[in-house]
Structure 1
Amino acid sequence: MPKNKTHSGAKKRFKITGSGKVLRERAGKRHLLEHKPSKLTRRLTGNAEMAPGDSKTIKKLLGK
């Protein structure tokens, strides 16, 4: 039976922690930052944890 391939789009967007949680970047911090308040851009910094329902799908895409 052939090996399963990792979804290359998911591979770039998500990270799995040692305990099995799925981390993602927050949306809205790529472009047009000049007119967004600094308060908002600071809030969008860092990683967020995925909802449990979505993380099941993402783990499948990543071959976990």
Structure 2
Amino acid sequence: MQKSFAKRIKLTKTGKFVRRSMAVNHFRTRKSTNNIRHKRKTRGLDYPVKKVLDYAATISQRVQ
């Protein structure tokens, strides 16, 4: 789980964790244009900080 979680999130220069929006590439014809456009942005991570900090070392090594 550590590797898969580390691949899904990134650490910004300010120390925030960001992730991609879900449900972007599959079944796009059902989604509105407005919905698809808003999902292009990255989202902040809402997981508990304790859970995220376990993987911070792995992610920070990937960034550098």
TM-score (norm 1): 0.72
* Runs of 4 or more above 3 Å deviation: none
Unaligned runs of 5+ residues in structure 1 are 1-5
TM-score by length of 2: 0.72
Percent of aligned positions that are identical:
19
Bigger fraction of residues in helix = 2
> Between Structure 1 and Structure 2, whose CA radius of gyration is higher?
1
Q: Which residue of 2 aligns with 1:54?
A: 48
Structure 1 vs Structure 2 CA RMSD: 2.1
Aligned residues: 58
What are the residue-to-residue correspondences of 1:1-64 with 2, within 5 Å? Answer: 7-51=2-46, 53-63=47-57
In 1, Cα distance between equivalents of 2:6 and 2:23: 20
How far apart in 2 are the matches of 1:33 and 1:56? 35
